[in-house]
Amino acid sequence: MDKIAPRFKNFKIVNFADVMIKISTEKGYIKDASHDLFRTLPTSMQNKIKDAAWDFISSQKEDVMVDTHAFVEHTGRFLPGLPMNDLKRLKGLCGLFCIDAPNETLRQRAARDHERIRPEIVGMSDLTLNNYRYANISALSFISTTLDIPMYVIYNEDGKLSQAADLLESHMKDAFNSSI
């Protein structure tokens, strides 16, 4: 998202995981800003932190683009990233944007990412990765239908970031009925 953020100057881009990590480190639940350490916290503690993160996001005055996952997979456990009760806190929610990539691309990106150690993605089978992706699409489809807002799917293949960003920009113009 950092590479395409300049295209969306009218929005505050908030990475949900970054907000949770900031809260977790400030409260002393984890010692560093590792996304993967956060995943090891008990579910009840993760839920409290998620509530605080949604409170922060819903309190923003400007238009916000939330960068997050519909589900987060951890050792076969799929944790909801977009619970309906939390989404209802957001005012003016007008679109859901699913940015996806082929399994091998996801594995290669995880292997190249030196900030987040993600061996579970690198070694994940096609079956598990597909289940993860299907869970995300299913959740977004449900949310889209329940809230009566469009869902947009964008494939971000390696070497085609510009095309994916163009499509995201086009979809955002549609969702917000304006130029961005």
Write down the pTM of the prediction: 0.80
Q: Which residues pair with 99 in a beta bridge?
A: 154
Q: pLDDT tens-digit profile of 162-179?
A: 899 899 889 988 888 765
DSSP states of 67-91 as a string? E--SEEEETTEEEESS-HHHHTTST
**CA neighbor of 23 nearest in space, from 14, 155, 158:** 14
Return all residues near 24 (Cβ < 8 A) that are at least 6 apart.
30, 38, 41, 49
25-80, pLDDT tens digit by residue?
898 888 876 556 777 788 888 889 989 999 999 998 888 889 888 987 777 777 78
